[in-house]
Structure 1
Amino acid sequence: MDPQDLFDTAMGYVDQAIVLATQWLLSPAAWSQFGLLVASYLLARLINRIVSPRITRILLPPADTQSILATIRRFVLRFLPLLLPLLAYALTAAGEAIVTSMFGSGPVIAFGKRVFLFLAIRAFARDILTDPFLHLLGKFFLVPVGALYALGILDPVLLSLSETRVSIGNINFSVLAIIRGIVAGSLLFWLGSWSNTQSSAYIERQSMRPAIRQLIVKAAEFSIFGLAFLLLMNIMGINLSTLAVLGGAVGVGLGFGLQKIASNFISGVILLIEGQATVGDYVELDGGEAGTIIKMTARATFLETYDGRWIVVPNEDFITTRVVNYSDSGSANRLEAEFSVSYDTDINLIPDIIEAAVSKHPGVLQTPEPPDCELRGFGDSGIDFAVEFWVEGIDDGKNKYTSDVLFLIWNALKDKGIEIPYPQRVVEIKGGLPA
């Protein structure tokens, strides 16, 4: 639009406002409407002053009460700041009906009624919407819309926005449709995020296998955000049949370029259903990767090693390679510690000594089997033994249990005077020593 035309249009609105204000100031009907507005506001303040404390006493539960009814009462009590502007709006609406029946129209009181509604909208956005996202949405969208409605120019602004078109390639949108899509999309996906959080918390409280819980959580998440996307497409007026073409293109992409991603996703679903590995298990893959599973996503599984490093393993590796699960949701594991004694030792005494010593460790279990000391062979420097024992959990790289057990073996052998041999070699010199 030409700047001069824009200026002329603005001045036309100013002239109309001046004429309207002059008519209001010189009209007895306008003064009577203004008086009704003031009376309605004062009466609303009086009613609010009497009613608000009583509503607060009725609805406010004790501070230590956490029941569902108490939560509902606290939620309703949050809307108490809206009582004053809504009372003023209702009383003004009643006054407008009286003025309209007497004078045929009531522009002044109608304007005041819209102002009271705007004050209610502003109080709602400022005091009720405590969530950061909703507060931001109310501040920059709801309050401006209420202001345009109070000024009586909301319909012309909406008409102007709907007639202004924006083209993106072959697709043509109105500015109003874009704004509506942004607001609706933000609200829908915020609601989806909130619903996903609530549903996940509810599912986590249910008694079922952790893998099944993870699968249900992921399925609920995909369902919620998929529904939000479809609703957004419907609100923006986009024909959903066009998504069939997009779906075909995505299918071709999955077939050629995204095979690994699709394979990892399907493998992740299989892992969650079968439960062969879940969060908290200590696993070791055929490729040498080992660690505790701390997170399972649609694409990969995250392992944490004992030194604090994270290993990202594609889900496909859990399906196509051999996986050793040492934890299996906290089951017992058998470990062993090797040692040697001198050839001068009475080896018949060793099993009882070692088994009694290892049994003193608080982490060593007596079931499914107590510690078992076995003769493994006759080595070059001594007689080789190994003690097998069961523990709840796994050994931290031979540092958690095996180290303690070796200390127990050392002390037990020393107490019995049994020698742990040094490496020995017999050297024969042919021909004797040189002179």
Structure 2
Amino acid sequence: MENQPEIVQQALDVAEDSYAFAMGWLTSPAAWSQFALLVVAFLVALLVSRRLTPILTKLLTPSEDSQTILATARRFLAMFLPLLLPVLAYAFTAIGETIVRSLFDSGAVIAFGKRVFLFLAARSLVKHIISDPFLKLLGRYVLVPVAALYALGVLDDVTVALTELQVNLGNISFSVMSLVRGVIAGSLLFWLGRWSNTQSAEFIGKQQEMRPATRELAIKTVEIVIFGAAFLLLMNIMGIDLTTLAVLGGAIGVGLGFGLQKIAANFISGIILLLEGQATVGDYVELDGGEQGKIVKMTARAAILETFDGRWIVVPNEDFITTRVVNYSDSGSANRYEAPFSVSYDTDINQVPAIVEAAVATHPGVLDDPFPPDCELRGFGDSGVDFSVEFWVNGIDDGENKYTSDVLFLIWNALKENDITIPYPHRVLEWKAGQGPGDVP
């Protein structure tokens, strides 16, 4: 065997050491007693968990319609019941370990068993408790493998090997272990940042006493603070000195500054919009370029307009600052509309305003403030006398609301009830003697 390659010789040496270690365990009374203790601890834990699980389930399960803080906490604790068996087994094993070490001054087997129970707890956590897809993926490919290495007792050796393996990128040097730690920590930090941002956005969105623009600004500010703090904490965890990134960041900033002028302008314009509140989510606006719709979302770069036919228009924030914008909503302020109509020349036009104003005022969406419905004479047309009724409503006359259409129906019915004729065009034809209807004079 002396002529074998070095790697083969090393493998044989490891195999011999492992064989000797295994034979030592098999022939050692202490090892067998520890193994028996592990079996007893697991069986006792299994018996206790089967007795406790129904009791704890009943205790920690509130009624379905209960939404109190205590009920939420009870549901949260009930999620961890699958960990009861491995945790009890670990606890009973730890109690027995003190006895075994006092008798045999050895505890290698029982220590291995404790690590196995921790591995089973980690596996149960990922399989039965974690429901978020991202966290489940992270647990499956990070937590469970790390727990397996720890159970086998080689986690420290793997950690030392990865720490000694260095990676150099210019003036920046870091170990592979730092990179692995950064990937894990970064994934957790940015998941936690996304969750925190969602929770804070929902909380701020419920504060109805705040102006809509102020709520949007607060949401954006919290988002920037959360992810900025996550980035700085990640750099600290990876062991990267931020001063080494200053020169590189400055060079990249100068290079990108020229190409990202529009993005910077839109970002600053978005902040100005949120501060001034001239246009916010829920407003119906029309831009100088002809784009019009309801603002359904405002991002750091653009505003999303939804038209009445369901299309979305992405408008850069800069357009709200540098061009003329007509805001029809202004966060719920009243808007005035007109409904034109005509009556016959045979009508007593002095009665028309009172009849029409009374009919339009019955519409539930028509306001008395700032002004009630106002019917005005507009002129004398070719076929009839032209009128128009002005009315004020909250909202836009399209999409969900059909104010003008409803008002015209009310006018039609009111005129019919009062025997007032709505004219239509008439043409009078004259024929001279000796000409037929088809002759051209």
Residues 377 and 385 in structure 1, CA contact (< 8 A), matched pair in contact too? yes
Matched, 1:369 2:371: yes
Residue 69 of structure 1: how far off its partner (Å): 1.7
Which residue identity does 1:385 align to in structure 2? F
The one-character-per-residue Cα deviations of 1:72-93 (angstroms, maximum 9, x if unpaired) are 2222232233233223223323
SS of the equivalent of 1:301 reads strand
Partner of 1:348, secondary structure, is: coil
Q: Distance in 1 between matches of 2:100 and 2:246?
A: 57
CA distance in 2, matches of 1:345, 1:44: 97
Cα distance 1:160–1:9, how it changes in 2: closer, same or farther (>3 A)? farther
Deviation at 1:351, TM superposition (A): 2.3
1:416 alignment counterpart: 419
1:187-230 CA-to-partner distances (Å, cap 9, x unmatched) read: 11111111111111211222311211111111111111111111
User: Where do 1:195-210 residues align within 5 Å?
Assistant: 195-207=196-208, 208-210=210-212
Q: CA separation in 2, counterparts of 1:319 and 1:163? A: 55
Residue 435 of structure 2: aligned partner: none
**Aligned-pair CA distance for 1:250:** 5.3
C-alpha deviation, 1:267, in angstroms = 1.4
Tell me which of 324, 327, 334 is aligned to 1:325.
Answer: 327
Instruction: State the one-letter code of the partner of 1:229.
Output: F
Deviation at 1:262? 1.5
Q: Mean Cα displacement is larger for which, 346-355 or 366-375?
A: 346-355
Q: Distance in 2 between matches of 1:232 and 1:245?
A: 19
TM-score normalized by the length of structure 1: 0.88
CA distance in 2, matches of 1:320, 1:424: 52
Shift of 1:410: 4.3
8 Å Cα contact 1:358-1:405 kept in structure 2: yes
CA distance in 1, matches of 2:49, 2:364: 69
Is contact 1:381–1:424 with CA below 8 Å preserved after alignment? no
SS at match of 2:293: strand
The residue type paired with residue 420 of structure 1 is: P
Give how far 1:425 is off. Answer: 9.5
- Is 1:145 the equivalent of 2:123? no
Distance 2:6 2:194 in 1: 47
1:171 and 1:387 mapped to 2: Cα distance? Answer: 75
**Which residue does the alignment assign to 2:76?**
75
User: Deviation digits for residues 163-188 of structure 1, max 9, x if unmatched?
Assistant: 23344455444322221111111111
* Contact 1:341–1:421 (CA under 8 A) maintained in structure 2: no
User: Is the 2:375–2:390 contact (alpha carbons within 8 Å) kept by the matching residues of 1?
Assistant: yes
CA distance in 2, matches of 1:296, 1:209: 15
Aligned to 1:395: 397
Counterpart in the other structure of 2:236: 234
The 2-side partners of 1:349 and 1:131 are apart by: 70
Aligned equivalent of 1:276 = 278
Structure 1 unaligned blocks of 5 or more: none
What amino acid does structure 1 have at the position aligned with 2:131?
A: T
In structure 2, C-alpha distance between the alignment counterparts of 1:50 and 1:412, rounded to whole Å: 78
Please state how far the C-alpha of 1:132 moved relative to its aligned partner: 1.9
Query: Could you say if the C-alpha distance between residues 424 and 172 of structure 1 is closer, same or farther in structure 2, counting changes exceeding 3 Å?
Result: farther
What SS does structure 1 have at the residue aligned with 2:116?
helix
Measured on the aligned residues, the alpha-carbon RMSD in Å equals 3.1
What is the CA-CA distance between 1:424 and the residue it aligns to?
6.6
Q: Percent identity?
A: 67
Aligned residues: 431
Alpha-carbon distance, 1:299 to partner:
1.0
1:19-418 → structure 2 map (5 Å cutoff): 19-168=20-169, 171-207=172-208, 208-249=210-251, 251-253=253-255, 255-343=257-345, 345-379=347-381, 382-396=384-398, 400-413=402-415, 415-418=418-421
Structure 1 residues 57-66 or 294-303, which shifts more? 57-66
Structure 2: 5+ residue stretches without partners: 433-438
1:166 touches 1:172 (CA, 8 Å); kept in 2?
A: yes
Distance in structure 1 (CA, Å) of the matches to 2:378 and 2:5? 103
CA distance 1:387–1:4, shift in 2 (3 Å): farther
Query: 8 Å contact 2:383–2:423 — kept in the other structure?
Result: no
Using the TM superposition, name which of 31-40 and 359-368 deviates more.
Answer: 359-368
Asked if the contact 1:345/1:419 (under 8 Å) is kept, the reply is: no
Maintained 8 Å contact 1:280/1:294: yes
